[in-house]
Structure 1
Amino acid sequence: MNYLKLCFCFLFLCAFFNLIGQEKKFKIHTIAFYNLENLFDTINDPTKFDEYSPIMELRAKQGEAYQKKIHNMARVIADIGSEATKNSPSIIGVCEVENNAVLEDVINDTLLLGKNYGIVHTESPDVRGIDVALLYRKEVFTPLNVSAHELKIYDDQSHKRIYTRDQLLVSGTLEDELIHILVNHWPSRRGGVSRSRPKRIAAAKLSKHLVDSLQAIDPYAKIVIMGDLNDNPTNLSVTKALKAKKDKGQVGLKGIFNPFTNMFKDGLGTTAFRDTWSLFDQIMVTKPLLEKDYASFQFYKAGIFNKQYLIHQKGTYKGYPYRSWSNEGFSNGFSDHFPVYVYVIREITE
């Protein structure tokens, strides 16, 4: 993966300097997504099952582990996309967070405090007490409308409702351009891939419904769909229910492009289990972000953020994401998922 990462960086720099060689100047923003792996505080909330979270199961030094976990999350967020933009992400969706308070602690860490991040977070009915949220740099993004959308799914045997994460839709302006961000954390594969598949297809259908609703108002709406989908880019939830395409040329006016499909086919992933890589974390964009006219913000590149410090360097899990929690407790790692990101660029005219 290190060789592939170097190749990506080389190709990105070649393309970027090619644009510069054309005597054009571009503004660039990073839009990212990161699964923060069980970012819980140390306070027992009687309304949630947070007592089963990894940090609450620690027998000692909970506060110390919490502060390290917060700092580690801030370190990664500050780093994503910084090589190209010289800044942290303008917009970043996150999942597996317990509440607004843990996000406040992240953005107030010394590594992010000067970035002036805002938070969009709503409590969802997930049985584990985890939510999705959006962080944004206030100087470049302004939320205009926020809505949370329940995913109503039921157990196929008991027919009881399964309470899972809401889908968070945030519409706002990136500088002066309207953009819509849909943050997801689809149902897990617990119980088996086949048995749980209908739940993720239902999640995909909800996402597609929200995209369709925005496009009914404005067919040229710029929409970014992101999240930990618990499915790969080639699974039915993504290809059939969401109808995401792997090639830009296949994307119609109201279509969706998934730049991570070909990465997955090339063997890349964001999380690993039993020596098999999955690319559950994805960011997709609608057609109006694929135009060749850079007078407005357009999709430029996508990538997996997998720097060496995010990877286990030795032992049983060598090469895997360096996660925070293991059977031994807190590892001082980061997450069992790599972050993903896209760059959007706009030509600067003087």
Structure 2
Amino acid sequence: MIRFLLFTFVALVCSTPVCRAKKPSVRIAFYNAESLYDTVSPPGSADGAWTPQGERQWDTERYRTKIEHIARVIDDLDADLIAVAEVENENVVRDLMFAMRSDYNYIHRNSRDRRGMDIVLFYKGSLFYPRRARLHAGPGLPREPLVVEGELDGTPLTLMACHLPSLLNRAADRRRALVSLRAAADSIREARPEHALIVLGDFNAAPDSPDPVRILSISPCPPQGRRRPPEKTETLLSPFFALSRRGYGSYVYRDRRCLYDHILLSPHLVADSSKLRYEGSCGIFVRDYMVHREGRPAGYPLRTFRGRTYLGGYSDHLPVFVDLEKQESE
């Protein structure tokens, strides 16, 4: 029953060819690409398994297949900005760029993650003009969030893309990461109060989980027609709150759907005065080729490996997105 409901949901979330908001819009997305390694293990790295001689037998053919698969998903998603996690290095970023049909620019920084997993931001230069990019270091953040400041279709914006510690880490470590993320968001808002803020990524926790709600001060986005921003300006708004409570997910953990990938918005993006406004269009992006179609894992994301068995899939995560609608000038 779980597998059937997962497949039914994701098919409904984004079933049209374009799956855009009705008005002209800007799409913001996040995708955990699941271990997008090349075939070379640099000295001192922890990715020896991802080589032709390693236990994954990660050769050029498997690497090229993975690149083509991730490129296909990004092309079909057609986001204007998309942050992609678990990308090993800039050489991989370039290979991905060459494989995509879409015309993107990119921002990449080398993190200190021991597995060599970075976050890259792909963006369409006709809409987004970056002015500053950096990694934010903090306690509990071995994979530093990528912070990019710029202007999105005339709206000042700071985007923070993160990949927080997994459930294999202690609960205290995960809470420390959330505290660091909250401190980063507060410092951004203090330094750039005129900027809209978008925090997106793999949080390894649902938006309605107790720790993220309490530490990040997450609230559901207000219903359409009630766009008055929350009185507490430190609040981050979640378009995915209701979806998570209804049991939908971008990832499957122990046969349970989990909305670990999601996107948070500052109150700027629901205010009547905003030139880009969230009006309710968000979801988990999927195509038939991205999930198992039959057997025991039917409806689960079609990943690259199950244990040590090579499946030749896409990722163990599905992308998530929000559409910000462009408002007509008065």
Match of 1:48 among 36, 45, 50: 45
Rounded Cα–Cα distance in structure 1 between residues aligned with 2:287 and 2:249: 13
Alignment partner, residue 336 of structure 1 = 316
Please report how far the alpha carbon of residue 28 of structure 1 lies from its aligned counterpart in structure 2 after TM superposition.
0.9
SS at match of 1:323: coil
Q: Deviations over 1:95-152 (max 9, x none)?
A: 111111111111111x33xx33122111111121111221111222121011111233
- Please give the residue correspondences for 1:242-281 in structure 2 after superposition, counting only pairs within 5 Å: 242-248=216-222, 251-252=230-231, 253-281=233-261
Counterpart residue identity of residue 234, structure 1: D
Q: Which has more helix, going by share of residues?
A: 1
Query: What is the TM-score normalised by the length of structure 1?
Result: 0.83
CA contact (8 A) 1:304 1:339 kept: yes
- Please give the residue correspondences for 1:24-173 in structure 2 after superposition, counting only pairs within 5 Å: 26-53=23-50, 57=54, 62-80=59-77, 88-109=78-99, 111-112=100-101, 115-153=102-140, 164-173=142-151
Please report how far the alpha carbon of residue 90 of structure 1 lies from its aligned counterpart in structure 2 after TM superposition.
0.9
Structure 1 residue runs of 5 or longer lacking an equivalent are 18-25, 81-87, 154-162
Q: Segments of 4+ in structure 1 off by > 4 A?
A: 5-11, 13-17, 58-61
Rounded Cα–Cα distance in structure 2 between residues aligned with 1:73 and 1:143: 24
Q: Does 1:200 align with 2:146?
A: no
Rounded Cα–Cα distance in structure 2 between residues aligned with 1:327 and 1:340: 25
Match of 1:290 among 270, 276, 280: 270
Rounded Cα–Cα distance in structure 2 between residues aligned with 1:127 and 1:38: 13
Alignment partner, residue 235 of structure 1 = 209
Counterpart residue identity of residue 326, structure 2: R
Please report how far the alpha carbon of residue 218 of structure 1 lies from its aligned counterpart in structure 2 after TM superposition.
3.9
> In the comparison of the two structures, how many residue pairs are matched?
317
Structure 2 vs 1, CA of residues 56 and 149 (structure 1 numbering), >3 Å: closer, same or farther?
farther
Alignment partner, residue 3 of structure 2 = none
SS at match of 1:257: strand
Q: Does 1:181 align with 2:159?
A: yes
Query: What is the TM-score normalised by the length of structure 2?
Result: 0.88
RMSD after superposition: 2.6
Structure 2 residue runs of 5 or longer lacking an equivalent are 1-5, 223-227
SS at match of 1:79: helix
Q: Does 1:319 align with 2:306?
A: no
Rounded Cα–Cα distance in structure 2 between residues aligned with 1:10 and 1:132: 27
Please report how far the alpha carbon of residue 7 of structure 1 lies from its aligned counterpart in structure 2 after TM superposition.
5.3
Rounded Cα–Cα distance in structure 1 between residues aligned with 2:19 and 2:289: 25
Q: Deviations over 1:68-89 (max 9, x none)?
A: 1001000001111xxxxxxx21
Alignment partner, residue 185 of structure 2 = 211
Q: Which protein, 1 or 2, shows the higher relative CO under an 8 Å CA cutoff with sep ≥ 6?
A: 2
Please report how far the alpha carbon of residue 258 of structure 1 lies from its aligned counterpart in structure 2 after TM superposition.
1.0
Alignment partner, residue 158 of structure 1 = none
CA contact (8 A) 1:219 1:254 kept: no
Identity of aligned residues (%): 28
SS at match of 2:41: coil
Please report how far the alpha carbon of residue 299 of structure 1 lies from its aligned counterpart in structure 2 after TM superposition.
1.5
SS at match of 1:230: coil
